[in-house]
A and B are shown apart, each in its own frame.
Chain A
Amino acid sequence: MSAASLPAWVLASSLLPAVLIFLLPESRRRTRTTLNLAAAGLKLVLVAAMSWGVVRNAPHEVRFTMWPGAEFILRGDALACLFAGLSALLWLFTTIYAIGYLEGAPNRSRFFGFFSLCVASTMGIALAGNLLTFLLFYELLTLSTYPLVVHRGTEKALAAGRTYLRYTITGGAALLLGIAVLYSFAGDVEFKETGSLRAVAESQWPLLRVAFGLMIAGLGVKAALVPLHGWLPQAMVAPAPVSALLHAVAVVKAGAFGIVRVVYDVYGIEFARELALLVPLTIAASVTIVWGSLRATQQTDLKRRLAFSTVSQVSYIALGVSLFGPLGTIGGLVHLLHQGIMKVTLFYCAGNYAETLGVHDIRELDGAGRRMPLTSAAFTIGAVGMIGVPPLAGFVSKWYLGLGALEAGHPWVLAVLIASSVLNAAYFLPIVHRLWFRNASAPWPDERSFGRFETSLWFLIPTLATAALTVGAGLFAGMPFSPLQWAMLITRREYLP
């Protein structure tokens, strides 16, 4: 394989396994597991190789013309590597988790097939080099996630699936419309650092604004911007690994990543500011941050609380993007990674509690720290990181977002960040308190024993790994190739052509 075709190989490393897994008979458990893990490992290597191209400032690119005026472009630029790297890493962990989770369950072939397809779509979104390619994979993601959400096949799951489709297909239509408006006078827009619409005549600016609104609304559905977030809390009926993937990498993150692409690489941050597009986005993100946190405090179901927390936290990314200035950009981009590793940890933990103890409700978690110390330690790290307590990952995000808000001249955003942190503390710390400082008052609802360890190693290893990453991303933020340093590299290129 030639080096230039790397992005295609990254995509293929999950598309091919998807096809193979669909073809494998249900009973070939060992083959499927091997295939899954090998593919996930290989992808990680490929993404690392692609990132090296970015460091040398020679990104890999694959392109061909689909039809005149519409190109298919896959490009491994810095931003793509950020998202692809996160997806590849968390896919590996989530695959491990899912293998343990679905031990003995029916329809595993279907599950892992769509699981791989879902990751392939996410990779496509990450690597897409223009709006049309992006749209293609964005819609593919919608379709490949639906079977995962309804995997259990219960009435509740099917209802959640319907809601999910209704929201995302409408969102997809809005995105399509926005891209069409743009296409009508700017043609096929290629993603470019510092943007590519600068040359549009001033008379077309109102249309640019309309297109922006449509695209952000379309992307905002997946990114769960209030009031387009209704599907997300319902979708938490999905199996734990799906929730983890949904909230940390795939769907929600795809929406947020789309917003990043549109603002930086379609419009360009400086041009977007000239068009006065940023402040409305700041306001929408701020409202979402506070509203999501407020709703989270009212939930007693652990996964539902985490879901509303996602609504709030993912909007940190949109907030950072909308703050004009490099510091806000760094904050938004680094949170893309940080939110992923922290939230995936929390969902793994929720899964561990549900699978090991049968606990779904927060009030049943009393004393779980003694029964499952490692899981509870991971949960504590994830939760405290989300609040933004230093030296964990969430603090680094919040620090740069705060600086970015001041740099952009919106000191009121500081109040939003602080309000959100206080609310985060209000809904996370009581859980931590229950885990460690209360005694179990009743037997666990549905306890299973996994032998020597507190729970299955398939669950425990990914949970501890992402918890360790949460600590590392904050404590060693100054090291080369840390999320923070990578976000800084991207930012330099967005502001200094």
Chain B
Amino acid sequence: MLSQALLAAAVGAPVGALLAALVPGWRGRLPWLLPVAPLPALVAALLVAPGTSLELPWLMLGGQWALDDTRRALLAAMALVWCVGGLTALRSPITADRLRHLVLPWLFTLTGNLWLALAQDIGGFYSGFAMMSFGAYALVVCSGSTFARDAGRLYIAFTVLGEMAILAGLLLASRGGAGNTLALVPAAIADSPHVLGITLALLVGFGVKAALLGVHFWLPSTYTVAPAAVRVVLGGAMINAGVLGWLLTLPLGVATLPTLGRNVAIVGLVAAYWGAFRGVRLGDSATVLGWSSISQSGLVTVLVGAALASGEPGFVAVLTLYAVHHGIAKGALFTGSDDTVAMTPAARRWLLLPALALAGAPLTSGAAAKLAMKSELGSTELAWIVPWLSAAAIGTTLLVARVLWCAERLRGEAGVRAFHGALMMAAYREGLSPAEHERESRAIVSRNPPRVGPAWPIALVAVATGVWWIPLSASLDAGLGDVLALGWPIVAGVLLAALGWNRLVPRPTGVVRLQPTAPAPVSASTDARSGTSGGSSLANRDADAESDSVSERYDTVLRRTIPLLLGALLLLVAAALVAARG
């Protein structure tokens, strides 16, 4: 009974908040609901008794809510990230300034996200997914800037594409014997004569959200222009909604599709490297993290491919583990890298923690996830991928080092300038005169001075304790070999970053976030957004002044950060060795 009430409250709380926000005059007083509304879902994920289910026959085509292990883990991670995102939204200038407009779409998107995590019926799951996807558009463009609008157009185009692919896949599966029950979808697909087509449709459809290479084009620009809080939930929670879609609908462990599976795995491998290659040269931490998501999603894709190719059911647990780990760590990185202006140097160094977790350093959730991944992959036909995945961690290390570098670079004067630059981007609209534009962005700052909120410590604690509460299929007592296997790409990455990096890659230009682009072909516009070439007069003014001092500051950064990184790493390795002996 209590468990059922918790299930109902998980979705009921955001719905109630949404209804309250619809009352005229209340909306301005309700922003505190943003971090609170996902909490019942978090409690439900942790406390609901196994086997509890809630029947809602009047809802859609017949609703049923329940939690299994996969959903429980992902729901907990999503709710946590939404809570951290909500806290960020209350404090981060762009969102804090527009909270009145943000409350409704935020709660709407949150409702969709939580509903899909609970729904056992196809109608409810698809409804939640659509609510989340379309609602997030309003979040992406909430600053109202021209840049946000351009990115939003790309976002919505891919969203519609994804929804259609999902619709086709679910219709075929439903007709193939699943009816309205999500749990029957994988088997129905496996038995269908169109098994390849359906699998592909669902892979692509959910892949839009899960940052699958090939349908990822919306992602870098969206992450770049979205306000910090929205990045947190996009990169930490909604990406996992896509992965959950894969886990629940694809015939993982039910069908064996060697050719498709191998090709999917190869796409994933390419994504892992391509994301690192693209991201490592960029100068804006949000964009770098966006490419890192594409790269990390590549690893998830490899697992999905291997699961399809081998028909091993064990991959589901590994995928869950990996998705939860990635969501939490990425959410924390987004939270932390946004806060840097107001942070003390000591507080900033804590960014290392989620960075190391993402890179898979020993004793972090990342290590557990990667070990589980390798051991599962090792027993399949695709074992040859394992060394390639290890090497991909070099890329991950480079990316997170780049993020740390971006954060480190934005200290003092440069940080304040970057802070203003970002706000000016958010305040930019076509037809605004430079003076009006300047006035507007200054007004936003004066209303919302930079300060550190509770989001960052909470996110840090979540990452630090991840090893204990994330459902682990791999044990922590890793051997020396494991520690070495995990450690060498990180060491290599750090060395690479330290040695020849600024000679190998183009010099980044200052604090450019992006530049206005006319609607351009997809690939061109994502290229342009990386900010390697001029465009906006306003962006370039900062950029030109900065570029001379960049390499100088870069050296300073290296001197300070790298020893720290190496030290932390050595410490971790030593600790792992002790743990392994003990």
**Residues of chain A at the chain B interface (Cβ within 8 Å):** 384, 388-391, 395-396, 398-399, 402-403, 406-407, 414, 418, 421-422, 425, 429, 436-437, 439, 441, 474-479, 484
Contact = CB atoms under 8 A, between A and B. Distances in A.
Nearest to B134: A389
A407 B126 CA distance: 21
Contacts of A422: 160-161, 164
Given A395-B127, A406-B172, A389 B163 contact: yes
B167 A418 contact: yes
17 contacts: A384-B134, A389-B134, A390-B60, A390-B126, A391-B130, A391-B131, A395-B127, A399-B123, A403-B171, A406-B171, A407-B175, A414-B171, A421-B167, A422-B164, A436-B138, A478-B56, A484-B61
A232 B144 CA distance: 37
A75 to B, nearest CB: 31
B168 A437 contact: no
A403 B123 contact: no
A297 to B, nearest CB: 14
Interface in B31-60: 56-60
Nearest to A480: B58
Of listed A384, A395, A421, residue having the most chain B CB within 10 A: A395
A477 B60 contact: yes
B62 interface: yes
A243 B63 CA distance: 37
A241 to B, nearest CB: 27
B156 interface: yes
Interface string B118-139: 0000011011001100100010
A299 B165 CA distance: 27
4 cross-chain pairs, A with B, having the tightest CB-CB distances, nearest first:
A390-B127, A391-B127, A406-B175, A402-B171
B177 to A, nearest CB: 12
Given A384-B134, A396-B61, 6 more contacts: A389-B130, A390-B123, A403-B171, A418-B168, A422-B164, A476-B59
Contacts of B123: 390-391, 399
B390 interface: no
A441 B430 CA distance: 11
Of listed A390, A425, A429, residue having the most chain B CB within 10 A: A390
B367 to A, nearest CB: 40
B141 A478 contact: no
Contacts of A399: 61, 123, 171
Contacts of A437: 138, 141, 144, 149, 152
Nearest to B429: A439
Nearest to A400: B61
B473 to A, nearest CB: 33
Nearest to A395: B127
B175 A478 contact: no
Nearest to B123: A390
B133 to A, nearest CB: 9
A474 B156 CA distance: 23
A478 B57 CA distance: 6
Nearest to B431: A441
Of listed A403, A414, A437, A475, residue having the most chain B CB within 10 A: A437
A388 B60 CA distance: 14
A278 B574 CA distance: 75
Interface of B: 56-63, 123-124, 126-127, 130-131, 134, 138, 141, 144, 149, 152, 156, 160-161, 163-164, 167-168, 171-172, 174-175, 429, 431
Contacts of B429: 439
Contacts of B149: 437
B175 A421 contact: no
Contacts of A414: 168, 171-172
Contact of B58 (A436, A439, A476): A476
A422 B58 CA distance: 29
Nearest to A426: B160
Tell me if B's interface is mostly helix, strand, loop or mixed.
helix
Contacts of A402: 167-168, 171
Given A389-B130, A390-B130, A407-B175, A478 B164 contact: no
B516 to A, nearest CB: 16
B60 A421 contact: no
Nearest to A389: B130
Nearest to A405: B171
A156 B171 CA distance: 45
Contact of A478 (B63, B130, B138, B144): B63
Nearest to B115: A391
Of listed A391, A474, A479, residue having the most chain B CB within 10 A: A391
Contacts of A384: 134
A478 B59 contact: yes
A399 B130 CA distance: 14
B167 A477 contact: no
Of listed B138, B149, B171, B431, residue having the most chain A CB within 10 A: B171
Nearest to A404: B175
A476 B123 CA distance: 11
A392 B152 CA distance: 23
B200 to A, nearest CB: 14
B329 to A, nearest CB: 32
B129 to A, nearest CB: 8
A478 B180 CA distance: 12
Contact of B60 (A407, A418, A474): A474
B156 A478 contact: no
Contacts of A421: 160, 164, 167
A436 B138 CA distance: 9
Nearest to B160: A425
Contacts of B56: 478
A336 B1 CA distance: 41
Given A384-B134, A403-B171, A418-B168, A477 B61 contact: yes
Contact of B61 (A398, A425, A478): A478
A388 B160 CA distance: 11
A430 to B, nearest CB: 9
B172 to A, nearest CB: 7
B58 A478 contact: yes
Nearest to B194: A411
Contacts of B163: 389
A290 B57 CA distance: 35
A391 B175 contact: no
A7 B168 CA distance: 42
Nearest to B149: A437
B356 to A, nearest CB: 39
A437 B63 CA distance: 33
A474 B167 CA distance: 16
Nearest to B129: A390
Contacts of B431: 441
A406 B193 CA distance: 13
A112 B131 CA distance: 41
B175 A403 contact: yes
B14 to A, nearest CB: 15
Contacts of A418: 164, 167-168
Contacts of B60: 390-391, 396, 474-478
A475 B59 CA distance: 6
Contacts of B63: 478
A476 B163 CA distance: 22
A398 B167 CA distance: 10
B36 to A, nearest CB: 24
B343 to A, nearest CB: 33
A147 to B, nearest CB: 41
A174 B130 CA distance: 44
B130 A429 contact: no
Contacts of A475: 59-60
A403 B138 contact: no
Nearest to B174: A403
Contacts of A484: 61
Nearest to B22: A377
A429 B156 contact: yes
Contacts of B127: 390-391, 395
Nearest to B57: A478
A167 B197 CA distance: 44
A474 B172 CA distance: 21
